[in-house]
Structure 1
Amino acid sequence: MGGIIDESILPNWNLNNITTLIQDFLVSRFGWFYLLVTTGFLIFSIFLIASKYGNIVLGKDGDKPEYNYLTWFGMLFSAGMGIGLVFWGGAAEPIWHMHLPPYPTETEVEAARVAMQHSFFHWGLHPWAVYATLALALAYFQFRKEEPGLISSTLKPLFGDRMNGGYGTLINVIAVFATVFGVATSLGLGAQQIGSGIEFVSGTISNTISLQLIIIAVVTVLYMISALTGLNRGIKILSTTNIILAILLMFFLLFTGPTNFIMNFFTSTLGAYISNLPEMSFRMAPFIKENANWLEDWTIFYWAWWIAWAPFVGMFIARVSRGRTVREFVTGVLLVPTIFGALWFSVFGGSAIHLEMVEGIDIYSIMNDAGSEAALFTVLENFPFTMVMAVLAVLLISTFFITSADSATFVLGMQTTNGDLNPDIKVKVIWGIVQSGTAAVLLWQGGLAALQTASIISAFPFAIIMILIIFSVIKAFRAEAKIYELKRRKRERS
């Protein structure tokens, strides 16, 4: 048969092509859906802060938070953004947007302003609202209603015991696959950027696939050690270390770089982000193909990506948030990472834009030649104490790498042991090996893009699940409010 059919005219049906076709279909046909549901999660989160349900404790009445604010913020931030913030927030995304803006701009100054505003948008309130919505539901049903720490448990007010059968299993399996795909992709990106940092610091070692595979192997050993020490030792210590390193690196560059420019840029962009948030949240481009393509490649891609990451991040944030009230939880998850992320983008992205516009250094061309992972170290080499900051950056990426993988082994262990708050060591080891093995094989075969695309595809059914979770949470909160009201009236009569 091979001699009859000209195989050159057949489509190349490999994993990357198939997943890309599916993703392109979902993004082009259902971009409006991703935009509406993600904005809906933000509206729901704001509603919870202002509502009468804000005083409900994520646990039994009288439960106190297990972790102080610094540790809590460190844990949710490390799991929620981690490597991605360093990879894209270290100058790459603002520079891409400045050269390829979401819509035509008349001047370079306007392009820079729009670039930073959309960087804030992509890493600000919307992604954290996605995480907050799912994490809140998981924490509420697990710690207050004593249900297993599974996503299927959050739908019991709507579907009852059916969530204990095949439908519940299907939902939990989707969550497991989304977690494995998302984290393996993140590990691959982290290995690439650590390799870039080693190449920069050493000056002799090249950032090859071999180096990246060695990095994955070394980091696997480190995060397995951390995972085996448990949540209150390994993950807790590393998450706090992450925050300290991130703050050190950020302030190091802030005060050795163009400080006044950065802070002015931060302040004006924060105002523009807040004032333009409603318009950006619903912006589509039905009449201009180029603008529509940009939205599909960036905003809609990000919204799908955050939804795909929600099972992993949501479950981990829920696990470390017992004892907090609904209002305290949602406010903390929304505002603190958003403000920190905005400042991070302003410092690193602002420094990169300043280098391009004032110093004439073409970071955009460097990224085109060496990859986005090179942007951070290109910025650092143009400021004092270059090697100190570069070493700090490599350490930060490494600790983010370890905590992301560490947290994922913990979450996957919970997901596959009926929500056990302290999964068996063997289970965590198995999932750790699966994650690293998946990342290593796909990095070696050039399949990270296919895995990332597969993760995005899983976001579509999971977005529908999250909509149902909102209705389930509201139903449960209303029932709890009625019980509280009955108790209050009973106390008044007595």
Structure 2
Amino acid sequence: MSEKYTKKKIRPLVFYPAFILLVLTIILNFVDQEAFIRVTSQARDFMTQDIGWLFSLMGVACLIIVIIAFFTPLGDIRLGGEQAAPILKKNTWFAVTLTTTIASGIMFWGTAEPISHLAYPPEGVEPMSADAVKFAMEALFLHWTFLPYAFYTVPALVFGFAYYNMNRPFSVGSEVSPIMGNRDQRKFDVAVDAVILFTLATGIASSFATAVMNMGSGMNALTGLPDNVTMYIVIAVLATIIFTAASGTGLFRGIKYLAHFNVYLYYVIIAAFVVLGPTVYMFSLGTEGFGGFLSGIFDRALFTGTAAGDDWASDWTTFYWTNWMAWAPVTAVFLARIAYGYKIKEMITMNFFIPAGFSTVWMTIVGGTSINFQMSGRLDLVSIMDEAGEGAVAYAILNELPFGFLLIAIYLIAVFITFATATDSTTNAMSGISTTGIESAEDEAPLSIKTLWGVIIGCLAVISLSVFGTDGIRILSYLGGIPALIIGFLSFLSLIFLIKNPEKFNKRS
């Protein structure tokens, strides 16, 4: 391994354009903050007002094609060939997949988002009404269960097949290899990787900012320290150091052990809410909300608010779709990498059905508790959210439960480890794409490259929170949306090609 490690070098045409553009973004904020705000706001407006409908259509298309792929002959093909042995056991595979995708998001938004929908629903829904309660739960399922994981699963399937079964390079460009045929796509791969690295850096910075805000609120709840920009900077620096150190241990050490520990923390949190919270209410409302979500999934997923001139969809649904799309191309590289040795059908199960099911349970329990506390008058979570921010909602709920101080501590640890694991895995994939010599699942990029990506992502996150607050999370998500949308669409077409004739492309039968 050491001999292969020394041969790894930066891919200059991939790394430097993305890195320099991100550095210039940071510099622009300090040199001319008004210009920075103007440019990012224009990008946001374009994504939400002009092409938001494209993201909605793409989400539904990904959902449909993933389910179709599960039942086709493609599902029986094993990544790496019939003799390939898995590199991760299934329980580890589950833990890593869950904690490196959207788990940091569900910990932040699971309690705060339904309160926002209760108080500020779209046109046609009366605030704080029974309709608003049902709408809030349905929106949670829409934004955090099957559609997000469909966004990730489509490019992951294509990359996994292309890298392990078509002998294509370790490049995001491999996610469109089936439609490229036998063409030499090396120049295309370089261009795609450079652009996607920029888009993912903005997307992961958005999630970094979410986690930092969440941890800031947690520290405030535990210690009384002010939840402000200074706190965010301290948390961001410490978090960057820790996840970089974990990344230095390699994929099959640091991430694996952190992920296992984190899943157990999730189980403790779920059990605490079920035992100490409004159990009957949460499961009854969750059942009703899930039924409404399934029966109206296309209406909800394709809702743009245009008819009523309402901005709710662009502020929430389009924000999420752009975020998932920005993450998807590089997250797919990581998810496919750890799926070696498993069949496509098993990969769909582990990357789509199981984590979406877990998220459904989480939102039922955590979101249902949040709604109950607000509607029953036990806590005025709307006022807490408006005064202290979204991050304060979860800790207010935990503090209201028996053993609140202990639960807050456990929750805060889970938030931190979730963030570290997700950032570790993504920078791992980004660093691999930026580096030559990644030839197998065990290969690792140099720690220096991982550190560089970690530092710049942390800077972007802190800047977004400092300048825009919570809106900064959304704006960063919008910046990477367009290139990711294009790659996502090409990956979708590539998966159709694979479904139609998998054996034509399979070189490892």
Q: What TM-score does the superposition give when structure 1 sets the normalisation length?
A: 0.90
Say what the alpha-carbon RMSD is for the aligned residues.
Answer: 2.2
- Between stretches 439-448 and 139-148, larger displacement belongs to 439-448
Partner in structure 2 of residue 67 of structure 1: 88
Kindly provide the amino acid, as one letter, of the partner of residue 52 in structure 2: G
Partner in structure 2 of residue 278 of structure 1: 298
Paired residue secondary structure (1:422): coil
2:114 pairs with one of 94, 113, 121: 94
1:435 counterpart = 2:457: yes
1:246 counterpart = 2:263: no
Whole-Å Cα distance in 2 between the matches of residues 16 and 73 of structure 1? 40
Answer yes or no: is the 8 Å Cα contact 1:135–1:315 preserved in 2: yes
1:479 Cα deviation (Å)? Answer: 4.7
Paired residue secondary structure (2:316): helix
- Between stretches 428-437 and 354-363, larger displacement belongs to 428-437
1:214 counterpart = 2:234: yes
1:222-259 CA-to-partner distances (Å, cap 9, x unmatched) read: 11221111111100001111111111112111111111
Whole-Å Cα distance in 2 between the matches of residues 411 and 229 of structure 1? 14
Paired residue secondary structure (1:60): coil
1:227 counterpart = 2:247: yes
1:423 pairs with one of 441, 445, 450: 445
Answer yes or no: is the 8 Å Cα contact 1:16–1:449 preserved in 2: no
Partner in structure 1 of residue 352 of structure 2: 334
Whole-Å Cα distance in 1 between the matches of residues 239 and 53 of structure 2? 39
Partner in structure 1 of residue 9 of structure 2: none
Whole-Å Cα distance in 2 between the matches of residues 446 and 111 of structure 1? 28
* Cα gap change, 1:253 to 1:319, in 2 (>3 Å): same
2:475 pairs with one of 453, 459, 466: 453
* Cα gap change, 1:267 to 1:307, in 2 (>3 Å): same
- Between stretches 179-188 and 101-110, larger displacement belongs to 101-110
Answer yes or no: is the 8 Å Cα contact 2:156–2:335 preserved in 1: yes
- Between stretches 62-71 and 137-146, larger displacement belongs to 62-71
Partner in structure 2 of residue 343 of structure 1: 361
Whole-Å Cα distance in 2 between the matches of residues 311 and 481 of structure 1? 24
Paired residue secondary structure (2:78): coil
* Cα gap change, 1:152 to 1:270, in 2 (>3 Å): same
Partner in structure 1 of residue 75 of structure 2: 54
- Between stretches 434-443 and 67-76, larger displacement belongs to 434-443
Answer yes or no: is the 8 Å Cα contact 2:155–2:328 preserved in 1: yes
Paired residue secondary structure (1:359): coil
Partner in structure 1 of residue 256 of structure 2: 236
Answer yes or no: is the 8 Å Cα contact 1:41–1:133 preserved in 2: yes
1:361 Cα deviation (Å)? Answer: 2.2
Answer yes or no: is the 8 Å Cα contact 1:178–1:311 preserved in 2: no
Q: How does 1:190-205 map to 2 (within 5 A)?
A: 190-203=211-224, 205=225
Kindly provide the amino acid, as one letter, of the partner of residue 488 in structure 2: M
Paired residue secondary structure (1:417): coil
Partner in structure 1 of residue 138 of structure 2: 117
Partner in structure 1 of residue 431 of structure 2: 413
* Cα gap change, 1:483 to 1:162, in 2 (>3 Å): closer
Kindly provide the amino acid, as one letter, of the partner of residue 250 in structure 2: G
Question: Gaps (5+ residues) in structure 2?
Answer: 1-31
Answer yes or no: is the 8 Å Cα contact 2:214–2:392 preserved in 1: yes
Paired residue secondary structure (2:329): helix
* Cα gap change, 1:211 to 1:175, in 2 (>3 Å): same
1:360 Cα deviation (Å)? Answer: 4.5
Answer yes or no: is the 8 Å Cα contact 1:181–1:452 preserved in 2: no
1:448 Cα deviation (Å)? Answer: 7.5
* Cα gap change, 1:102 to 1:339, in 2 (>3 Å): farther
1:213 Cα deviation (Å)? Answer: 1.3
1:259 counterpart = 2:279: yes
Q: In percent, how many aligned pairs have the same letter?
A: 27
Which has more radius of gyration?
1
Give the count of matched residue pairs.
Answer: 470
1:99-123 CA-to-partner distances (Å, cap 9, x unmatched) read: 1223423572221011101111011
Whole-Å Cα distance in 1 between the matches of residues 191 and 472 of structure 2? 23
* Cα gap change, 1:172 to 1:270, in 2 (>3 Å): same
1:198 Cα deviation (Å)? Answer: 1.1
Kindly provide the amino acid, as one letter, of the partner of residue 114 in structure 1: F
Partner in structure 2 of residue 467 of structure 1: 489
Whole-Å Cα distance in 2 between the matches of residues 302 and 45 of structure 1? 19
Answer yes or no: is the 8 Å Cα contact 2:464–2:476 preserved in 1: no
Answer yes or no: is the 8 Å Cα contact 1:148–1:418 preserved in 2: no
- Between stretches 412-421 and 131-140, larger displacement belongs to 412-421
* Cα gap change, 1:19 to 1:437, in 2 (>3 Å): closer
* Cα gap change, 1:199 to 1:447, in 2 (>3 Å): closer
2:417 pairs with one of 391, 395, 399: 399
